[in-house]
Amino acid sequence: LLWVGWFGFNAGSALGANGVAVNALVTTNTSAATAGLVWMLLSWLDGRPSTLGIATGMVVGLAAVTPACGFVTPLAAMVIGAVAAPLAYYAMRFRERRKLDESLDVWACHGMGSTWGTIATGLFATVAVNADGANGLFFGNPAQLGIQILAVIVTIVFSFGMTYVLAKALHVSIGLRVSPIEEDVGLDISSHGERSY
């Protein structure tokens, strides 16, 4: 369901039924499928693959190709998905080893995947796909890679800064943490009186 919905905002961003929209749809699908396959292979090396792991890999591929889908070829989308999967996979392992509290692995999956995808746009973008875009490094425009890296840095700084300000405001006003008992029981039961699954 998530994968199909992703087609809507990636291909729909072309604002028309045109070649860019079709390319965005194909690259979205290609990156997700490739990342899911690579994730499966990585998890096979670590033990055995799971459907949850493969689905996570697919989401990583979706997140990674989103910045690039209207500007890169399907072959580049395969590379984007193939690189995004191990980046996110090992970022999750890093978080697990460090025992960091990040229950949805958003940093590993969406953060690492989309950071790579934004940088990869600066490598693989081509005006052959989208005449309104720009060529990337591999098509003779190294400046685009610099622009993409700058965009990543600005986004990280802005997001961290705003999150810090909002977290401090919440901490001062209503608090950020629930009690250890509520956390152990689960917020579905302690806050809502319902079990989710």
pLDDT digits (tens, 9 = 90+) for 135-178: 999 999 999 999 999 999 999 999 999 999 999 999 999 988 88
Q: Domain spanning 2-153: which superfamily?
A: Ammonium transporter AmtB like domains (1.10.3430.10)
**Coil/strand/helix, residue 103:** coil
Confidence of residue 197 (pLDDT cuts 50, 70, 90): low
pTM above 0.85, yes or no: yes
Share of the chain above pLDDT 90, in %: 73
Three-state secondary structure string covering 114-168: HHHHHHHHHHHCCCCCCCCCCCCHHHCCHHHHHHHHHHHHHHHHHHHHHHHHHHH
How are the residues of the chain apportioned to helix, strand and coil, as percentages rounded to the nearest 5? 75, 0, 25
